[in-house]
Amino acid sequence: MPPYSKFTKDEIVNAALEIVRKDGFSALTARALGTKLGTSSRPIFTVFKNMSELHQAVIEAAKKIYNEYIKIGLAAEPPFKGVGTQYILFAIKEPKLFQLLFMKEQEEIPTLSGILPIIDDNYEKILCSVQADSRVDKEFSEWLYRHLWIYTHGIATLCASKMCQFTGEEIGRMVSEVYLGLLKQKKEEVK
What is the third-level CATH fold of 9-48?
A: Arc Repressor Mutant, subunit A (1.10.10)
Pick out the chain residues at pLDDT < 50: 1
Which pLDDT score is estimated for 190?
67
Sorted by where each begins, the domain ranges of the chain are 9-48, 78-190
**Are the CB atoms for 86 and 149 separated by under 8 Å?**
no
Tens of pLDDT, residue by residue over 130-168, are 887 777 788 888 888 899 999 999 999 999 999 999 998
Which pLDDT score is estimated for 51?
94
CA-CA distance, 101 to 59, in Å (whole number)? 7
* Cβ neighbour number for residue 148 with a 10 Å cutoff: 21
Which pLDDT score is estimated for 130?
82
**Closest by CA position to 159, among listed 113, 77, 93:** 93
Residue ranges in 27-137 assigned as alpha helix (H):
30-37, 44-47, 51-75, 79-93, 95-102, 112-119, 123-134
